[in-house]
A and B are shown apart, each in its own frame.
Chain A
Amino acid sequence: MYDFAYHKPKSVADASAAVKKASEGKLMAGGMTLIPTIKQRLARPSDVVDLGGIGDLKGIKVDASGVTIGAMTKHAEVAASADVAKAIPALAKLAANIGDAQVRNRGTIGGSVANNDPAADYPAALVGLGATVHTNERKIAADDFFKGMFETALKDGEIITAVSFPVAKKAAYMKFPNPASRYAMVGVFVADTAGGARVAVTGAGPGVFRVKDMEAALGKGWSADAVAGIKVPAGGLNNDIHASREYRAHLVTVMAKRAVAAAG
């Protein structure tokens, strides 16, 4: 690991200024991906700007319209929140199964979303529920936020402050975890929302994506059988030592069926 300059600003404005000023600045939330990446010399930031000192970014608010989670809220806090479990049980359960207990004690929703790992869990929840990403500059719909692998709509110096999730009529997330890393080989988030049925897939492709055919089928009738015959094309999916693209394509249908059944 190469050395870097470390900053721990007290406000979002100061953090944004610090990262913009640096020649190769990196924002750090929980550090669960950034620190391993720097250790492996896959990243060599000149400056690391730690968001851990900004109190405004922490906390969970739940009201009739939905759940708003501050960017620096840890997975363990979302998993343990009785308010989240009541409003959107699938979201609390998803958070409870990210990584392991120690990762959940450090990793944050903002960090996970900004990193956009193709196998991360939270992107599926954001797209599946039609969430909104709040930044220091604007609000971005989840459908417009996630771009390609590890790419998002965030601009330089733009910082996620919170994510808000509308309450769904029902929702569930099912993942087939890689047994070593516990990242999703395939994870499917399904939700019956005010805007219709949504099906979001993580782990299978280069980034989170929706399966419109499944959404249309669930719109006509919510049942596991409705999605049982719908396959996604294997063509663009991930192919690696853990699973072939054909296997992942198969898992999408299996996990979708299980998620629809679990949502009830």
Chain B
Amino acid sequence: MTMSVAMTVNGKAVSGNVEARTLLVQFLREHLGMTGTHVGCDTSQCGACVVHVDGVSVKACTMLAVQAEGSKVTTIEGLAASPEKLHPMQEAFRENHGLQCGFCTPGMVMSAIDLVKRHNYAVTEEIVRHGLEGNLCRCTGYHNIVKSILAGAQAMKAAGV
């Protein structure tokens, strides 16, 4: 069943014709060509596909594009103000060596921002480690990701984002 779908992605109105079964992540990657959002496990375990829908983090591999009709979607591509100026959380990952191969990083960053906002910037190591239950990384052992998010939380608060 082909349907039309319209939503806002990173502040821009977008629309397309999709099959009902098209996942949000497929719509982003294959219809809009925005490949920053990754597909890792495709079973809602790994979190590589995390985006924000109406302000909260969701796994875009487990949501239909048509379910996002009328929603505001933010992907990793929508965070940085410009190519020169990264979002404070992205910058924190860079500064703290919070990635190795980088495959999980878009999802990690999107989950981290939602986590920090949900706790009103007051995150602890314990909150971060529990808060990352839905994101898998096979390179880092998580240590530098946790470090990055703790630093990113402070930077977000200072920047007021």
Contact = CB atoms under 8 A, between A and B. Distances in A.
Interface size class of B (residues with CB under 8 A): 20 to 34
A102 B20 contact: no
B3 A6 contact: yes
B134 A103 contact: yes
B101 to A, nearest CB: 21
A4 interface: yes
Interface in A140-180: 180
A64 interface: no
Instruction: Name which of A4, A50, A76, A106 has the most chain B CB atoms within 10 A of its CB.
Output: A106
Interface string B35-67: 000000011110100100000111100111011
A36 B62 contact: yes
Interface SS majority for chain B? mixed
Given A5-B1, A6-B20, A102 B59 contact: yes
A111 interface: no
Interface in B109-137: 111, 114-115, 118, 131, 133-135
A52 B67 contact: yes
Interface residues of A, number: 27
B57 A105 contact: yes
A5 B64 contact: no
B21 interface: yes
B133 A182 contact: yes
Contacts of B1: 3-6
A101 B115 contact: yes
Contacts of B67: 31, 50, 52
B19 interface: yes
A35 B45 contact: no
Given A6-B3, A36-B62, 8 more contacts: A4-B20, A6-B66, A8-B66, A35-B23, A52-B67, A101-B111, A102-B50, A102-B58
18 contacts: A3-B21, A4-B1, A4-B21, A6-B1, A8-B66, A31-B63, A36-B43, A36-B44, A36-B62, A48-B20, A50-B67, A100-B134, A100-B135, A101-B111, A101-B133, A102-B47, A105-B56, A106-B59
